[in-house]
Each structure stands twice: as C-alpha cells, then as structure tokens.
Structure 1
Amino acid sequence: DARIPASSKNPELNRLAGNKPVLTLLAKSSLADPAASERWKKHFADEGRTCLFVDSTTGYGINSIAPAVREVMAEKLKRYESKGMTGKNLRVMIAGIPNVGKSSLINRLSGGKHAKVEDRPGVTRDKQWINTGIGLELLDTPGVLWPKFEDQTVGENLAVTGAIRGEILDTERIAVILCGRLRDRYPELISARYRLGDVSQLAGWEIFGLVGRKRGFLISGGEIDTERTAVMLLDEFRGGKIGRITLEEPDAISGKNPDETGNGEGSADA
C-alpha cells in the first residue's frame, strides 16, 4: 500500500519467495502523497529493489507492469529462448496484504472482471490462475497478514488503511489514532476538510471530538456519536477525501531489518 509502504510489507514473503525474482508494486498510489512517494522511490532504488507505483482505479502505472516483470525475469527468459521456448507465458503470483487491491490489479491487467473485488479485506478466498493475454499468467491469492506485529505502529497503520477487518477492531480508537497521525503529518488537510482551525496543539481525541461536532454527529444530551464519527473519518481517509496522504517515511525505518520488524517495501510481490 503506497500510503504505508513499510507497514504493508509482509515480512514472510521474502522467505517464502526464496530465490525467485520479486517485483514490488506500491498500490493505491493515487491516494498517497506524491512527494512522499518520490522519497520512497529513491529509497527502493538505493536498496537496488525493483518497484513500481501503481493504481488500479486510475490505471496509473499498469502498462509498466508487464515490461517490469520481463525485466526481473530476464535470466529465466534467456533460458527459455536457449531451449527454443519462445512466446511462453510467464507465471506470476500476486501476493500481499488484505484489501490492498490485488484482485483489482488482476482485472486491470486482464481487461475483465475475472477476480472478485470489494472494498474490504478477505474477499478473495481461493487461489486462481488468470491469463491476461499480454504474456502473463497471474495467480490471485488471498490477502495474508503475518501472525505477530513486532511494532505496534505497523498494526495501527494496517487498521487505519483497512487491511484488518473492521469487526475485530475498536473503530473509535483507530479513528483517534488517525487524527493524531494527520495532526503530525498533514495538519492543514484535516483542518481544511473539517474546518477545525489550528490543530497542532490538540490531542488526537480532541480533534476527533471536534470533527464529530463540526459534522453534527450528536446524540441525546449533546454528546458526540463516536461510532458514526469514527466510521466517517476512516471512510473519508480511505477514499482520499481528506487528501493524498502517506503515513510513514523511509527515514523512519533506516537501520532496521524489514524482515525482522515487519517493515520494508509494500503491496504485491510478483
């Protein structure tokens, strides 16, 4: 997920991939801060990793995927050619966290509605091979989270962006955390969206309360309807209505081993 490139990398994927070539896709890039995305591009380039920022909704970067796959699989293609196996489809597994847009990506690449898509985690249940017609055969897999988040921030970021099922979360707490993150990174965006004024000295829960009052989400006695406020805040963040937002920077993971901390590049690995 381009909004949380470190937190959305499943640390198990590198181990499971073994020596197979990997292409990292940063999905939902139209929702991410373009300036932050440029910093992440440089970070991955400095590490020698092949990555693309893409968006299945707008189509951004989609046409670059097939050439990039062929580039990372160049050695295998040479072996095919030496055996006279030209024109063979490349088989690629799409893997990543829940609700990051793997099925939407496959539908974009294949030009049809082959994979079921909904804006919630856990929709894809089974593995399925899909022929794109552009020389790639894609294996759609269910989104998977790893058993334990070593860093609490990783779990919070995954919850805020919608990778964890809402039924198992304290929605109000997650929305308050989001308010704190936006105060720290994008105070002007949350202030402008909800007409809050200066929020720099406010706690997350205070911002949350102000948002509820500004929207008129009140119950008897003038108290804030916290559930309604939380659902609205998270929906508007996830839909890009607050603005283009990235919740973490490459500098924050400098010196850490992504496979130990749960941090690293994000989204779908080919």
Structure 2
Amino acid sequence: MNIQWYPGHMTKALRQIKEDIRLIDMVIELADARIPDSSRNPEIKNLTNGKIHILLLNKADLAEDAVTTKWIEYYKSQGIFSLALDSRSKAKKREIAALIDKASAEKRARDLRRGIKNRPVRALIAGIPNVGKSTLINNLAGKNSAKTGNKPGVTKGKQWIHVNKTLDLLDSPGILWPKFDDESTGEALALFGAISDDVFEKQELALILYHRMTELYPGRLNDFYGIDENLDDAMVLPAIAESRRLLAAGGALDLNRAANIFLDDLRSGRLGKVSFEKPD
C-alpha cells in the first residue's frame, strides 16, 4: 500500500521553520514511541543541524516499556538527549526540565562568558502531525497555550509560548516529508494517525494492521475480538464487524465501521501496548 501525503500547507510550514531557525537555541523533536524510526522526519534533522537537539518519544504509555527503554538506550549511545514520556503526564515535567537544562548547559555557559545573563532558552517544538506537540507545550506551560486535537493539521501557524524565565517555546505545525522511501513508513504513519484518514482506503489499511498484529502479537486479536488469527483477508473485517455487531442499513455487516473501529482501537491503546519498530 503506497501512501504518500504532503499537502501544500506543509511546504509553507517547512519554509517557516527554515526562517525561524535563526531565532532558536534548541530543537525539541517529538516522535511516536510505537514507531520511533518512521515518525522521525529527516527534514527536521537537516534543517536544525548545529542546534541543540532533544528527542522525546511521546505516547510511551501506549508502547511496550522494554522496547522503549531499548530505543532510549540506543539514542543515548548516539549522543542524542532523549526521554520517553506521555506528554499529558504532569509527572514528567521535572524530567523534561532537567533534560533541557542538561542539554543547554554549554549554551548558558557560553552566554555567561559573553556577559549575557538570565536569557531564556528558545526552543522549537517539532515533529510529525498528531504526535502531541501542542499537548506537551500546554503541559509545560501549565495552561492551554497551544491548540490540540486528535487529528493531523490542528496547529496551523507560528505560536510563541513563554513557559517561565528560563524557557520560551515555539510551536510549529506537524510536517512530513515529500516522499517516503518505502511503503512501510507510510503505512506506519497512517496506522498511528499521522496521515489524514482521507487519503487512503481504511479497509485496506485495516488488513495491513491485521497482519502486523498477528505477526507481532499473536493471540491479542483473538483475546480482544474473539476472532480467528488465520483468516483469509476477505474474512477479517466481516469477523470484526460480527464480533462487535456492526450492521449497516438492511442488516449487512458494516465493514467500513469495522475498519474504523479496528484502527481506533490500535491508536487509543485499547488493543494493548504495541511497538511496531525495534532498534537493530
């Protein structure tokens, strides 16, 4: 399933980030802990080269703890400041603040040598669509400073948020990149809601999810839906629709609703914690 999505507003957003780079000291990149590799935009790394870089694996509460720990160890071995979190959790605020403080230590020492005191660190919050950037900002700022939503494209323009005397944050729209190198990247991004649901066939994506779940988490779908995990493709969605009693007009099984519910059960965590990518 070859999924590609790069609407015009992302080109504009990318151009804006290029202009804003000169205004910031640090980039705080958010990726999805369930697909850390696929959810890292290579354009962000290219644009922010030379800036302090922090990587936060968000939605870690929906990923396997042991796998996420291995990802954090991997990134730290690459010299990347990294942390796993749920951007809604108040408990992580201190850890994030400590990581920002650690990552910006050299910058603050350099400012002091230049006679610059008490200037807040200016950080750009960047990442793919629907990865939780605005939620993180609101958590750190302690107020609803940035717009949030459960679909890509909520943040449209530039927003500066003053967190405290040591930190200013610049929110940015979620952006992807012009072309995914392989089909699995587009599929992973679509599965976890980073791509608009309007640009692909949900029933086809639901079948991809079925095969990934039965391969990586055998028994999970049987436990959750009570369905056979060796079904032919044509029988998967009818089995889910029947298990949830999803009927369309006239009493036929509603396969579109079955696909929607299946994908939503994954994204919301109702299917349990999943990690579709693991560090080599």
Q: TM-score interval w.r.t. the shorter chain? A: 0.7 to 0.9
Q: Within 5 A, what are the aligned runs for 1:1-270? A: 1-59=32-90, 61-133=92-164, 135-196=166-227, 199=229, 201-203=230-232, 206-219=235-248, 223-251=252-280
Q: Residues of 1 paired with 2:211 and 2:233: CA distance? A: 4
Check whether the contact 1:54–1:62 (CA below 8 A) recurs between aligned residues: no
Check whether the contact 1:66–1:134 (CA below 8 A) recurs between aligned residues: no
- Please tell me the residue identity of whatever aligns with 1:153: S
DSSP-derived class of the 1:14 partner: helix
Q: Residues of 2 paired with 1:191 and 1:73: CA distance? A: 48
DSSP-derived class of the 1:35 partner: helix
Check whether the contact 2:34–2:62 (CA below 8 A) recurs between aligned residues: yes
Q: Residues of 2 paired with 1:42 and 1:202: CA distance? A: 38
- Please tell me the residue identity of whatever aligns with 2:112: E
Alpha-carbon shift at residue 189 of structure 1 (Å): 2.2
Q: Residues of 1 paired with 2:85 and 2:41: CA distance? A: 18
DSSP-derived class of the 1:48 partner: coil
Alpha-carbon shift at residue 222 of structure 1 (Å): 6.3
Alpha-carbon shift at residue 70 of structure 1 (Å): 2.1
Alpha-carbon shift at residue 190 of structure 1 (Å): 2.0
Alpha-carbon shift at residue 60 of structure 1 (Å): 5.1
- Flag the structure with higher strand content: 2
Counterpart in the other structure of 1:260: none
DSSP-derived class of the 2:270 partner: coil
DSSP-derived class of the 2:219 partner: helix
Gap change, CA 1:134 and 1:36, over 3 Å in 2: farther
DSSP-derived class of the 1:95 partner: strand
Q: Residues of 2 paired with 1:203 and 1:247: CA distance? A: 22
- Please tell me the residue identity of whatever aligns with 2:75: F
Of the two structures, which has the highest relative contact order with CA contacts closer than 8 Å and spacing of 6 or more? 1
Gap change, CA 1:182 and 1:62, over 3 Å in 2: farther
Q: TM-score, normalised by structure 2?
A: 0.84
Q: Residues of 1 paired with 2:101 and 2:81: CA distance? A: 12
Q: TM-score, normalised by structure 1?
A: 0.87
> What is the total number of aligned residue pairs between the two structures?
249
Check whether the contact 1:103–1:116 (CA below 8 A) recurs between aligned residues: yes
Gap change, CA 1:59 and 1:247, over 3 Å in 2: farther
Q: Residues of 1 paired with 2:234 and 2:255: CA distance? A: 10
Gap change, CA 1:121 and 1:20, over 3 Å in 2: same
More deviation in 229-238 or 100-109? 229-238
Alpha-carbon shift at residue 71 of structure 1 (Å): 1.6
Counterpart in the other structure of 2:26: none
Alpha-carbon shift at residue 22 of structure 1 (Å): 0.4
> What percentage of aligned pairs have identical amino acids?
39
RMSD value over aligned CA atoms?
Answer: 1.7
Alpha-carbon shift at residue 204 of structure 1 (Å): 5.3
Alpha-carbon shift at residue 42 of structure 1 (Å): 2.1
- Please tell me the residue identity of whatever aligns with 2:247: L
- Please tell me the residue identity of whatever aligns with 1:234: L
Q: Residues of 1 paired with 2:267 and 2:62: CA distance? A: 8
Gap change, CA 1:53 and 1:12, over 3 Å in 2: same
- Please tell me the residue identity of whatever aligns with 1:55: D
| Unmatched 5+ stretches in structure 1 | 252-270
Alpha-carbon shift at residue 158 of structure 1 (Å): 0.3
